[in-house]
A and B are shown apart, each in its own frame.
Chain A
Amino acid sequence: MNMDAKIPGGPLEEKWSNYKKNAKLVNPANRKKIDVIVVGTGLAGSSIAASLGEMGYNVKSFCFQDSARRAHSVAAQGGVNAAKNYKNDGDSVYRMFVDTLKGGDFRAREANVYRMAECSLNLIDQAVAQGVPFGREYGGYLNNRSFGGVQVSRTFYARGQTGQQLLIGAYQALMRQVHKKTVQLFTRHEMLDLVVIDGKARGIIVRNLDTGEIERHAAHAVVLATGGFGKIYYLSTLAMGCNGSAIWRAHKKGALMASPSWTQIHPTSLPQSGDYQSKLTLMSESLRNDGRIWVPLRENEQREANAIPEEERDYYLERRYPAFGNLAPRDISSRAAKERIDAGFGVGALKNAVYLDFSKAIREQGVAKIKEKYGNLFDMYRKITGIDAYKEPMMISPAAHFSMGGLWVDYELMTTIPGLFALGEANFADHGANRLGANSLLQASVDGYFIAPYTMANYLSGEIHTGKIPTDHPAFDEAEKQVKEQLERFVHSKGTKTVDQYHKTLGKLLYDYCGLSRNESGLQFAIAEIRKLRNEFYENVHIPGTVDTMNAELEKAGRVADYLEIGELMCYDALTRKESCGAHFREEYQTPDGEAMRNDADFQFISAWEWRGKDNEPTLHKEPLVFENVKPIVRSYK
């Protein structure tokens, strides 16, 4: 297995410029001869499709929503990081690099992380030029806030809708190319398989979700920018359609999956209120800048929040992590909340939440200021819960949120299948075992605007003489046949349970055994249960209708079938990593005061998994991590 990360030589600060200096190019006249498929229209997908279109390549862009603007990047609230140092508070590319590496608990590549920080500078320029209305100071210059886990203010924001505004910028750039006919857009199309010819990615099989038709599309390179698969937990902050199918089907065609079990569980989501619930709404982490998190000191407290006096409240983050307090990184905050909830101090009807309290901030800054900063979040909170958070504290609880894991990619963002690139949340690259807040809008964007345009050209320069890729190659026949067989099998399945019921059962298993904390016997139990569940699913799921029409249940069936396989791999991943790092907390490996215990001697590597067929255990490959610039230290936020 070729797992060369292809990290360029030279000092850290010069690696990316060295790469760009030596990368091969495709001259403008030749770009017309080259076809590229981009799956996904989130920040990563829209930005690469638009950028390649501007350069003159023929691009086909796909998404499952009815408009490219609805990709789930739209839901990001808090902000996007960049090391502009506009606040003169000591920020720099290097500091951002260190923060990200440390935040990720030293389980990411130095060179990738440094490059992301370096490219952050250009991203803000690009977004502003597109008309993204970032928050500004009265003098007219861009404003910043500080965001979970760092001590400088480097987060740019557009009220609580930063993801929406950045995505609209990228979407508009994409639509501009659609109008110029450099990009062909296929909305409501779902990728169901990757086509590999002579070892190279050469196309995809998609289903038109409106008509049920199966289509073949060929290209010289394929980009997967299909986002995260945290929806595997069923209850999550992701959109209903988010899925792991595109990357999973590529995995089954030979692309390695890296660290699939590293899921960020976000500390500030709204708690679950009943079984019917379909998703957990995120309350932006930026709220932690002014909100204080607490639970009652007394177990099983019956009084309402406002009736509990100050001295009977436990501000547990401020108590345990005095240096960072309410801004402690996400994995730490979520685990601390789970610890209090499990110990019986949870609040709310189901005792599954903690308080996030703004009374101090309102006293100090006034309601108007708080309203300006977070007005839409407070409105959203009221709509969902019926509660006025200006008057009483919000109730929040942890929820599955972000996949640090994904397809393994090298420095060029290419997977182990030549010609197959993975961008944005779909790859594993930059966040290590825990992502810092506001770093993933950044990663998705820089992957698409500033990195892949260079690395893909380097690859595509070898494709100038290839000529059109034919869609009647036997590899297309075979892939299409398999896709159709699976769909037919589903619609003939008339059992007694719905797809969602299986999804919920799987989600609960993963949340309990491969969620905020994990242990060996739990993971082994989960693997056995998932296998059983998967067999039962194929015997007993009920799918109405036919394949040749719009059929939402059929769409969900394919996604859940994949989740039932991904879930098992996540458990293997967690089982074999006998250490605690970032979001991966193995109960067997903790300090006496309950902090994660990393094991650099044995686990300073990336786990990359190879598919070995349905009933076989996957094979683990290891990419050692080398730290030349920063010495891995024990993360302490005390």
Chain B
Amino acid sequence: MKLHLKIWRQKDKNTQGKLVDYWLEDVNPHMSFLEMLDTLNEKLVLSDEMPVEFDHDCREGICGQCGVMINGLAHGPLKNTTTCQLHLREFKDGETIVIEPFRSKAFPVKKDLKVDRAAFDRIIASGGFVSVNTGQAPEANSIPINHETAESAFDSAACIGCGACVATCKNGSAALFTSAKISHMAKLPQGKEEREHRVLNMVHQMDNEDFGHCSNTEACEVECPQSISVLNIAQMNYEYNRAKVLKK
């Protein structure tokens, strides 16, 4: 199949970028989206042009490193799928595909399609953990956790930290990401001890980064590769209010 690509090229953080046109003839519909970019890059390299920089690593939908806006949609047209798991069979022969970075104020573009998502790491560092040192843990089965609770904690913990939620949100809010960690921990007995501190610190850190506020459009859940539910945001708000009340 043939494709017409319009790809965001930006030399570095401080340079203005623009969309550049590329044409690919003869790509195989079974190729993954990133393999299509590999093919383009091979051509660019051999004509001594700079290849398109894009983020990726595991290429199996779990590391959260990949992610671009494809025709205006985070990770492209398939629901709940990372960019690396998307295949060209989802596109039409001759189609024009616009490829842009996960743009958001809190995610500055580093080069071409790569953005800086370090703000996520800072949110986790501010409280997204259980304060247990190596060696302190009690016997694993000493605290039973019922099946449903464990499964529900897993649903929140499944977040891969790709940033699609932020990129897709019109406000650039990190509420889904932050809340997923807060609920993962709040649901488990191990996380309950630090419940109040955690939510206050993490929300505080989130507010200090350049993220916008959540206005409940629920667009994030739609694009999330792991189907993280917006109910996590409700739980975060509950935890936050609860912590505020208890603090007084």
Question: Which residue in chain B gives the minimum CB-CB distance to A453?
Answer: B134
Q: Which residues of A contact B143 (CB under 8 A)?
A: 128
Contact B38–A278 (Cβ < 8 Å): yes
Contact B157–A128 (Cβ < 8 Å): no
Q: Which residues of A contact B217 (CB under 8 A)?
A: none
- Give B24-70 interface residues, CB cut-off 8 Å to A: 28, 30-32, 34-35, 38-39, 42, 44-46, 48-51, 53, 55-65
Q: How far is the CA of A67 from the CA of B121 in the complex (A)?
A: 7
Contact B157–A168 (Cβ < 8 Å): yes
- Give A204-228 interface residues, CB cut-off 8 Å to B: 210
Q: Which residues of A contact B150 (CB under 8 A)?
A: 133-136
Distance between A26 CB and nearest chain B CB, rounded to angstroms = 16
Question: Which residue in chain A gives the minimum CB-CB distance to B144?
Answer: A140
- Which of A133, A141, A383, A498 lies in contact with B154, CB distance below 8 A? A133
| B110 at interface, CB cutoff 8 A | yes
Contact A165–B141 (Cβ < 8 Å): no
Question: Which residue in chain A gives the minimum CB-CB distance to B34?
Answer: A278
| A241 at interface, CB cutoff 8 A | yes
Q: Which residues of A contact B58 (CB under 8 A)?
A: 70, 72, 74-75, 239-240
Contact B129–A549 (Cβ < 8 Å): no
Beyond A129-B130, A383-B85, is A542–B48 a contact (Cβ under 8 Å)? yes
Contact A66–B65 (Cβ < 8 Å): yes
Distance between B108 CB and nearest chain A CB, rounded to angstroms = 11
Beyond A129-B138, A386-B89, is A175–B53 a contact (Cβ under 8 Å)? no
| B211 at interface, CB cutoff 8 A | no
| A173 at interface, CB cutoff 8 A | yes
| A253 at interface, CB cutoff 8 A | no
Beyond A140-B146, A179-B125, A278-B59, is A122–B154 a contact (Cβ under 8 Å)? no
Q: Which residues of B contact A185 (CB under 8 A)?
A: 121
- Give B108-131 interface residues, CB cut-off 8 Å to A: 110-111, 114, 116-118, 120-121, 124-126, 128-131
Contact A450–B134 (Cβ < 8 Å): yes
Beyond A131-B153, A278-B35, is A550–B111 a contact (Cβ under 8 Å)? yes
Distance between B97 CB and nearest chain A CB, rounded to angstroms = 17
Q: How far is the CA of A239 from the CA of B28 in the complex (A)?
A: 22
| B224 at interface, CB cutoff 8 A | no
For the residues of B in contact with A, the DSSP-based class is: loop
| B190 at interface, CB cutoff 8 A | yes
Q: How far is the CA of A124 from the CA of B144 in the complex (A)?
A: 14
Q: Which residues of B contact A178 (CB under 8 A)?
A: 121, 125
Interface-forming stretch among A156-164, A285-293, A305-313, A515-523? A156-164
- Which of B62, B132, B144 lies in contact with A129, CB distance below 8 A? B132
Contact A86–B141 (Cβ < 8 Å): yes
| A50 at interface, CB cutoff 8 A | yes
Q: How far is the CA of A278 from the CA of B12 in the complex (A)?
A: 27
Q: How far is the CA of A545 from the CA of B139 in the complex (A)?
A: 55
Q: Which residues of B contact A159 (CB under 8 A)?
A: 154
- Which of A127, A138, A498 lies in contact with B146, CB distance below 8 A? A138
Contact A542–B46 (Cβ < 8 Å): yes
Q: Which residues of B contact A187 (CB under 8 A)?
A: 118, 121
Contact A136–B147 (Cβ < 8 Å): yes
Beyond A72-B58, A74-B62, A84-B140, is A130–B132 a contact (Cβ under 8 Å)? yes
| B160 at interface, CB cutoff 8 A | yes
Q: Which residues of B contact A450 (CB under 8 A)?
A: 134
Question: Which residue in chain B gives the minimum CB-CB distance to A135?
Answer: B150
Contact A131–B185 (Cβ < 8 Å): yes
Interface-forming stretch among A269-277, A436-444, A575-583? A269-277
Q: Which residues of B contact A138 (CB under 8 A)?
A: 146-147
| B137 at interface, CB cutoff 8 A | yes
Contact B46–A494 (Cβ < 8 Å): no
Most buried by A among B49, B59, B121, B129: B129
| A599 at interface, CB cutoff 8 A | no
Beyond A125-B139, A130-B129, A453-B134, is A164–B62 a contact (Cβ under 8 Å)? yes
| A47 at interface, CB cutoff 8 A | yes
Contact A274–B28 (Cβ < 8 Å): yes
Distance between A590 CB and nearest chain B CB, rounded to angstroms = 34
Distance between B46 CB and nearest chain A CB, rounded to angstroms = 6
Contact B117–A67 (Cβ < 8 Å): yes
| B145 at interface, CB cutoff 8 A | yes
Q: How far is the CA of A544 from the CA of B48 in the complex (A)?
A: 6
Q: How far is the CA of A574 from the CA of B120 in the complex (A)?
A: 45
Contact B53–A47 (Cβ < 8 Å): no
Contact A274–B154 (Cβ < 8 Å): no
Distance between A409 CB and nearest chain B CB, rounded to angstroms = 20
Q: Which residues of B contact A542 (CB under 8 A)?
A: 45-46, 48
Contact B62–A133 (Cβ < 8 Å): no
Contact A65–B125 (Cβ < 8 Å): no
- Give A272-331 interface residues, CB cut-off 8 Å to B: 273-274, 276-279, 281-282
Q: How large is the interface on B (under 10, 10 to 19, 20 to 34, 35 or more residues)?
A: 35 or more
Q: Which residues of A contact B63 (CB under 8 A)?
A: 65, 70, 72, 74-75, 239
Contact B161–A126 (Cβ < 8 Å): no
Q: Which residues of B contact A3 (CB under 8 A)?
A: none
Contact A66–B55 (Cβ < 8 Å): yes
Contact B144–A172 (Cβ < 8 Å): no
Write out, one digit per residue, whether chain A residues 517-561 have a CB within 8 A of any chain B CB (1) or not (0): 000000000000000000000000011110001101100000000
Contact A131–B59 (Cβ < 8 Å): no
Q: How far is the CA of A386 from the CA of B83 in the complex (A)?
A: 16
Question: Which residue in chain A gives the minimum CB-CB distance to B116?
Answer: A66
Most buried by B among A138, A278, A282: A278
| B171 at interface, CB cutoff 8 A | no
Q: Which residues of B contact A240 (CB under 8 A)?
A: 56-59
Question: Which residue in chain B gives the minimum CB-CB distance to A138?
Answer: B147
Q: Which residues of B contact A161 (CB under 8 A)?
A: 62, 158
| A108 at interface, CB cutoff 8 A | no
Contact B60–A380 (Cβ < 8 Å): yes
Q: Which residues of A contact B62 (CB under 8 A)?
A: 74-75, 161, 164
Write out, one digit per residue, whether chain A residues 35-72 have a CB within 8 A of any chain B CB (1) or not (0): 00000000000010011001000000000011111101
Question: Which residue in chain B gives the minimum CB-CB distance to A52?
Answer: B134
Q: How far is the CA of A544 from the CA of B151 in the complex (A)?
A: 48
Distance between A45 CB and nearest chain B CB, rounded to angstroms = 14
| A592 at interface, CB cutoff 8 A | no
Q: Which residues of A contact B184 (CB under 8 A)?
A: 131, 133
Question: Which residue in chain B gives the minimum CB-CB distance to A178?
Answer: B125
Distance between B51 CB and nearest chain A CB, rounded to angstroms = 6
Write out, one digit per residue, whether chain A residues 137-149 have a CB within 8 A of any chain B CB (1) or not (0): 1111110000000
Contact A158–B89 (Cβ < 8 Å): no
Contact B147–A68 (Cβ < 8 Å): no
Beyond A129-B136, A129-B137, is A498–B45 a contact (Cβ under 8 Å)? yes
Beyond A129-B136, A542-B46, is A384–B85 a contact (Cβ under 8 Å)? yes
| B78 at interface, CB cutoff 8 A | yes
Q: Which residues of B contact A635 (CB under 8 A)?
A: none
| A176 at interface, CB cutoff 8 A | yes
| A500 at interface, CB cutoff 8 A | yes
| A476 at interface, CB cutoff 8 A | no
- Which of B129, B136, B139 lies in contact with A172, CB distance below 8 A? B129
- Which of A65, A128, A131, A544 lies in contact with B57, CB distance below 8 A? A65
Contact A130–B114 (Cβ < 8 Å): no
| A636 at interface, CB cutoff 8 A | no
Contact B87–A384 (Cβ < 8 Å): yes
| A616 at interface, CB cutoff 8 A | no
19 contacts between A and B (CB under 8 A): A50-B134, A54-B133, A67-B120, A70-B58, A125-B139, A126-B134, A131-B153, A131-B191, A140-B146, A141-B141, A142-B141, A168-B157, A172-B129, A179-B125, A179-B126, A185-B121, A239-B57, A276-B31, A276-B35
Among all A-B residue pairs, the 3 with the closest Cβ atoms: A140-B144, A129-B137, A172-B129
Q: A133-B150, A187-B118, A500-B42 are in contact. List 13 more A-B contacts (CB 8 A).
A: A50-B134, A69-B124, A128-B140, A140-B144, A161-B62, A165-B154, A173-B129, A176-B129, A276-B28, A498-B46, A542-B48, A549-B111, A552-B53
